[in-house]
Amino acid sequence: LAKILDFGVARVVSEARSNESTDDLTVDTPAGRVVGTAAYMSPEQASGRPVDFRSDQFSLGSTLYELATGKRAFRRDSMGDTLSAIIHDEPEPIQRLNPRIPPSVCWIIERCLAKDANDRYASTRDLAKELQALRDRMTEPAPPTRFSVTAQAKAVIAIAAIVVLIAVGAIMNRSHLLQARTQMIPNQKFLAVLPFKDLSGRRDGQLFSQGFSEAVSARLGKYAGIQVIPPVSAAPLVSKGANFRRIAQELGATLLLSASVQMSGDELRVVYSLLDSNSGVEVAGDTLNGSIQNVFDTEDAVADAIARDLGVTQRPARTQTAGLETAHEQDVYLRVLGNLEHYDDERAVDAAIGQLRELTETAAASPLVHSALGRAYLDKYFLSHEPAWSDKALTECDRARALDPNSVDVLLTIAETQRVTGKYDVAINTYQRALALQPNMPEAAIGLAKAEQGAKRYVEAEAAFRRGISLRPTWWSGYNGLGVLYLTRGRFDDA
C-alpha cells in the first residue's frame, strides 16, 4: 500500500499519449514565486533554466544520498550558498561517508546527481527498471559465501527504516518545527542586510547583485516594524570574512538577511535566508522569480516576502520606475548602486559618476538618477575635499527634489551635504523633513543630532542623539556621538 505523504511542489503538464514516453514531456519553469526546498533542486532549476523529468531524477538522487549517508549532498549555511553548491560543487563520495553502501547503489545515486541533465537517465522508466532489477538481485536468496548480497540487504533495510522514521517524524514534527522557527524571530527586528551574492557569472553581475540588495534594503526601511541596517554597513565586514555572529555584534543586528541573485535570459531569480544572529540558524527563507524587464517589481516582491516572514504586513507604496523605463536603464542603475557601496574607493565612485552621467541623457526625468548622482558627488567630496563636488551634489539633489519632493533618500543626501559644508540651520530643517516622512530612520536622527551640535544647540542635539539610539539601541554610532557631545560640554561622568 503506497501513501502520498507530501505533494511538495507539483505542476500540471500535458498528459502523455499512449505512444509517448516520459522523455518527450518537458515543462518550462514559469516566472513567479517558487515554493520549495532549495537543498533538493536540480542545477537547471537552481539556475532558472527550463526543467523536465530529469530534474526530478536529481531531486530523487539528493534524497537517496541523504538516506544513504545521513547528510545532505549540498548542505550549506544559507539558501544562496546551497544553490551555488548545487550548480558548481560535487557531493562527497557516498562510500567515504558510509562504506556499507554497495557500489551499485552508489552508481545509481551518482548518476541521478549528474550536473548535466544529459548524463542522467534518458527516461525515468529506465531509472525505474534499474532500481527494480537491483531490488530483485538484493532480495534473491544468496549462498553464505556471497557477503556482498548480505551487505546490500542490510543497507536496503537500513535505508527503508530511515524512510519510515523520516515519514513518521515529518508528520509529527512539521507543525512543531514551523512553530519553533516562528518563535525564533525576535520582537525587535534589527535586520542587517548583507550584500547579495551573484550566481550568474556575468562580468558585472556582482555589482548588479549588490545594487539589488541596496534597493531591497531601501524598500524594507519603509516598513514601520523593521529597523534596517543597509548593505553598505555590512560590506566591510563581509569583505574581511567575518562570520554571522561577528557581523551581528558589530552592527547591532538581531537578524541577518543573506541572499543570492541569478540572471538567466529575461529571468531574475532571488533566493534569500533570514538568519538568527545568535545561532546562525535559518528562521525563514524563500525563492522568488521575476523578470529582468522590470527589476523594481521583483525588488518589491522580495522585500514584501521578507516583511511577511517577519510578521510585518502593512505594505508601503509600490516602488515606481521613476523614469527608468527600460531593462538596460534599470540594470545600469543597480550597478551604480553596487559601485556606491564602495564609497571609499575612488575608482568605484568615478565609475558610478560616469554611468549616472550617461543615464541623465536617456533618463533625465528620473529623480532616482539625480539623487544617486548627488550621492556620488557627495562621496567624491569626502574623498577629495574639493568644494566643487559638494556644489554639484546640491545641484543634482535639487533636480531630484523638483522631480520627487517626498523622496527620503534625496532629502537625506541634501541634508548630509548641507551639514558637512557647515550649513547647519538648513540641514536641520532638511533632516526634520526626512524624519517626518520616515520616522524610523536612525541615520536621519543621528545626522540631525550632528547638525544641531554644529549649530551649538546642545539640548536639541542630545535629544536627537537619544532618538537615534532609541531607534537602533544596538548601533554604536548614536552612543559615540552622544559621548563626544558630553565630552565637549565637560560632562565627563555622563560621557
Q: What is the mean pLDDT of residues 206-216?
A: 90
Window from 150-154, 271-275, 304-308, 445-449 with minimum mean pLDDT? 150-154
Q: What is the mean pLDDT of residues 388-417?
A: 88
Residue (of 274, 268, 123, 296) closest to 205 by Cα position: 268
Backbone angles phi, psi at 68, to 5 degrees: -75, -30
> Does the structure show a pLDDT above 90 at 6?
no
Q: How confident is the model at residue 179 (pLDDT cuts 50, 70, 90)?
A: low
pLDDT in tens, 415-441: 988 898 899 999 999 999 999 988 888
Q: Which residue has the higher pLDDT, 319 or 23?
A: 319
- Give the pLDDT of residue 430: 93
Q: How confident is the model at residue 239 (pLDDT cuts 50, 70, 90)?
A: confident
> Does the structure show a pLDDT above 80 at 135?
no
Q: Is 272 within 8 Å of 212 (Cβ atoms)?
A: no
> Does the structure show a pLDDT above 50 at 483?
yes
CATH number for the domain formed by residue range(s) 22-30+37-181: 1.10.510.10
> Does the structure show a pLDDT above 60 at 147?
no
CATH topology classification for 185-319: Rossmann fold (3.40.50)
- Give the pLDDT of residue 321: 56
> Does the structure show a pLDDT above 90 at 228?
no
- Give the pLDDT of residue 184: 65
pLDDT in tens, 285-338: 888 888 888 888 888 899 999 998 888 877 766 665 567 888 888 889 889 988
pLDDT in tens, 109-129: 888 999 988 889 887 777 877
> Does the structure show a pLDDT above 70 at 407?
yes
> Does the structure show a pLDDT above 60 at 160?
no
pTM of the model: 0.62
> Does the structure show a pLDDT above 70 at 18?
no
Please state the domain extents for the chain: 22-30+37-181, 185-319
Q: How confident is the model at residue 137 (pLDDT cuts 50, 70, 90)?
A: low
Q: Which residue has the higher pLDDT, 133 or 179?
A: 133
Q: How far apart are CA 417 and CA 426, in angstroms?
A: 10
One-letter-per-residue 3-state SS of the chain: CCCCCCCCCCCCCCCCCCCCCHHHCEECCCCCEECCCHHHCCHHHHCCCCEEHHHHHHHHHHHHHHHHHCCCCCCCCCHHHHHHHHHHCCCCCHHHHCCCCCHHHHHHHHHHCCCCHHHCCCCHHHHHHHHHHHHHHHHCCCCCCCHHHHHHHHHHHHHHHHHHHHHHHHHHHHHHHHHHHHHCCCCCCEEEECCCEECCCCCCHHHHHHHHHHHHHHHHCCCCCCEEECHHHHHHHHHCCCCHHHHHHHHCCCEEEEEEEEEECCEEEEEEEEEECCCCCEEEEEEEEEEHHHHHHHHHHHHHHHHHHCCCCCCCCCCCCCCCCCHHHHHHHHHHHHHHCCCCCHHHHHHHHHHHHHHHHHCCCCHHHHHHHHHHHHHHHHHHCCHHHHHHHHHHHHHHHHHCCCCHHHHHHHHHHHHHCCCHHHHHHHHHHHHHHCCCCHHHHHHHHHHHHHCCCHHHHHHHHHHHHHHCCCCHHHHHHHHHHHHHCCCCCCC
Q: What is the mean pLDDT of residues 134-139?
A: 65
Q: How far apart are CA 290 and CA 270, in angstroms?
A: 8
pLDDT in tens, 339-371: 888 888 999 999 999 999 999 898 888 888 998
For the four alpha carbons of 75, 81, 84 and 85, in that order, the dihedral sign comes to negative
